Amino acid sequence: MKFKKPQTLQQIAALLKVDFVGNANFEILGINEIHVVEKGDIVFVDHPKYYDKALNSNATTILINKSVACPEGKSLLISEDPFRDFNKITNHFNPFIASKASISDSAKIGENTIIQPNVFIGNNVNIGKNCIIHSNVSIYDNSVIGNNVTIHANTVLGADAFYYKNRPEGFDKLLSGGRVVLEDHVDLGASCTIDKGVTGDTTIKAGTKIDNQVHVGHDTVIGKKCLIASQTGIAGCVIIEDEVTIWGQVGTNSGITIGKGAVILGQTGVTKSVPGNKTYFGTPISESRKKLKEMAEIKRFLKDRNH
């Protein structure tokens, strides 16, 4: 999530009421999660296990709950509760604004796009040309939709990320300040749910087709010309490369990559990253031919033992 204009280290420290290490005028351009941080971003870290990863990431300002040596060319914000203060930044620069109409006045809708009755389109949504948005679709604030996109009834774009911190008093929600981006010629079936990014974009690239009742988690990137069948659940921060086929009722772990041209057969649990141009099956996942061979050998062994 980029700020509308650059901030200084001192300005952010004053907003959070925390101490800082570094030049007071050190430039900050936005905030991001660890897997998508860029130069100029703030990243937060609140567990010693991830200190080194955050300090050595592309982020140039680290919101951290311990005084540590500041890496050269970077700055620190010292916070008692980085999770809470990361939420403060999100809420300050990207606050929730209630809609006053079913289709926001700030939404931009391209020519020849058809909006069916009972569609909700939030603030600052941008929809391209020649799209069809069917009834009861909800498109949350800041979503971006390309040209020639079809979205079927009851689909939701831009719900919050499923991201919580477990505290003694209950689960504390990490605020979502990202977007959903659909590129050209994407089709979404009925009752799909595409969550927005926490700080970046959940992206579905050009030409991808998604069946009914598919869930896509926060900050996931789905490549070009993918096919994803019904009841698939894709976790957050997944990368699905181009021309991947995923059949029905597949589930994935978060943070994995599915390589270009891979085929994931139905009811597979994608528990780890897998290379492209192969077919996979089973839980835990393995190559289909290998898995089927193993199953045949087990069946043969049991048959021989029973005789």
User: Are residues 143 and 66 both part of a single domain?
Assistant: no
Asked if residue 77 and residue 35 are part of one domain, the reply reads yes
The answer on 151 and 88 residing in a single domain is no
Residues 84 and 115 in one domain: no
Q: Are residues 67 and 203 in the same domain?
A: no
> Is 249 found in the same domain as 142?
yes
137 located within any domain: yes
Cα angle vertex 142, ends 209, 151, to 5°?
Answer: 25
Task: State pLDDT tens for residues 58-83.
Answer: 999 999 999 999 999 999 999 999 99
Give 284's contacts (C-beta < 8 A, 6+ positions apart).
Answer: 269, 271, 272
pLDDT at residue number 107:
98
Domain count of the chain?
Answer: 2
Query: Residue range 8-27: average pLDDT?
Result: 97
Give tens-digit pLDDT for 136-167.
999 999 999 999 999 999 999 999 999 999 99
Asked if pLDDT for residue 294 goes beyond 90, the answer is no
Q: According to the model, what pLDDT value does residue 177 have?
A: 95
**Domain shared by 124 and 273, yes or no:** yes
Residue 290: pLDDT band by 50, 70, 90 thresholds?
A: confident
Q: pTM for this one?
A: 0.93
* Domain-located, residue 185: yes
- CATH number of the structural domain spanning residue 229: 2.160.10.10
Q: Is the pLDDT of residue 109 over 70?
A: yes
Same domain, 143 and 270: yes
Task: Single out the residue in 64, 93, 122 at which a domain terminates.
Answer: 93
Mark whether 185 is an active-site residue.
no
Q: Which of 49-63, 102-116, 269-283, 289-303 has the lowest mean pLDDT?
A: 289-303
**What CATH number should be reported for the domain holding residue 47?**
3.40.1390.10
With respect to residue 66, please indicate whether it lies within any of the assigned structural domains: yes
304 located within any domain? no
126 and 211 co-located in one domain: yes
The catalytic position among 152, 185, 215, 218 is: 218
Same domain (yes/no): 134, 259? yes
**Which pLDDT belongs to residue 245?**
98
Among 216, 150, 160, 223, smallest CA distance to 189 is for 150
- pLDDT of amino acid 307: 65
- Residue 59 is assigned to a structural domain of this protein: yes
* pLDDT for position 295: 76
39 lies in some domain: yes
Domain around 163? 108-289
Domain annotation covers residue 294: no
pLDDT of residue 65: 97
Same domain, 67 and 121: no
Determine, yes or no, domain membership for 117. yes
- What mean pLDDT value characterizes the chain? 96
Average pLDDT rounded to a whole number, residues 209-219 = 98
Region 259-268: what's the mean pLDDT?
97
What is the pLDDT at residue 298? 79
Statement to judge: residues 149 and 46 lie in one domain: no
